[in-house]
Amino acid sequence: MDLKTNTIAGWALGAAAVALGTAIASGMIFEGHRPDKMGYPIEGVEEAGAGGGAAEVPIASLLPTADVAKGAEVFKKCAACHTINQGGANGVGPNLYATLGEAIAQGKGGFAFSDALKSVGGTWNFENMNAWLTSPRKFAPGTKMTFAGLSNPQDRANVIAYLNAQGSNLPLPAAPAPGAEKAAADTGGNTAAAAEKVETDRRGETGDIANTGTPASGAPSVDPEAARKGARSQ
């Protein structure tokens, strides 16, 4: 082996020794310090399973401004499986004429609804239709419906307004009282319970008198019995 070959081999062995030493030193420095989160965050992408999202707007708040024409456009996503004209035939899914207000998974010319949807019970009111359009699989686990749902609340409101205009024509639900949207989040999205909570809070703030005779507004307490005795003595 000549001098040149020996020199090259020496440099190679030296580089390998440096690399091995660096690796060992790095391992000693960072040992036991695994990062809490692996990888790098990407702006605009929400972490799977992360909470803290915005509270869902009640459908009753969106329906008064819903656009039937826009709902007809969104409904085109459904037209591959559903007809909506009066007397229309069932297809992959049932005909949807006059569906709002009907019993869930009943009628529709004998359409073969899944047992999962039949077990839900109740009627297709605005709340149920909104929940169904949000996620059929969550509304009726085991349903044969393969549509993933509409994530945009305004799209759902527009579609519901369109469905309502096709033979149902139900009166729109009353818009929630001010503050009901926050209360709905506090009650797990139950808008009925939220409305009751807001109404209860409102009555308390306006000074309804309890059995003790103490106004909720913070005014001085009044003993009902003392008040009656005072009235009789006058």
Number of domains in the chain: 2
User: Do 72 and 123 belong together in one domain?
Assistant: yes
CA–CA dist 121, 118 (Å, integer)? 6
User: Do 115 and 142 belong together in one domain?
Assistant: yes
User: Do 131 and 190 belong together in one domain?
Assistant: no
- Does residue 142 fall inside a structural domain? yes
User: Do 63 and 161 belong together in one domain?
Assistant: yes
Q: Which pLDDT score is estimated for 122? A: 96
Given 145, 165, 185, the domain boundary residue is 165
Q: Which pLDDT score is estimated for 73? A: 97
Q: Which pLDDT score is estimated for 160? A: 98
pTM given for the model: 0.57
- Does residue 17 fall inside a structural domain? no
Q: Which domain holds residue 84?
A: 59-165
User: Do 98 and 134 belong together in one domain?
Assistant: yes
Residue ranges of the chain with pLDDT lower than 70? 1-55, 179-234
User: Do 190 and 117 belong together in one domain?
Assistant: no
DSSP string, the chain: --HHHHHHHHHHHHHHHHHHHHHHHHHHHHTT---SS-S---TT-PPTT---PPPPPPHHHHGGG--HHHHHHHHTTTTTT---STTPPP-SS---TT-TTSBTT--TTT----HHHHTT-SB--HHHHHHHHH-HHHHSTT-S--------HHHHHHHHHHHHHTTT-PPPPPPPPTTHHHHHHHTTT-HHHHHHHHHHHHHHHTT-B-TTS-BTT-PPP--HHHHHHHHHH-
Q: Which pLDDT score is estimated for 28? A: 52
Q: Which pLDDT score is estimated for 177? A: 77
User: Do 161 and 136 belong together in one domain?
Assistant: yes
Q: Which pLDDT score is estimated for 223? A: 58
- Does residue 10 fall inside a structural domain? no
- Does residue 234 fall inside a structural domain? no
User: Do 103 and 188 belong together in one domain?
Assistant: no
- Does residue 11 fall inside a structural domain? no
pLDDT in tens, 138-191: 999 999 998 999 999 999 999 999 999 999 999 999 888 776 555 555 555 554
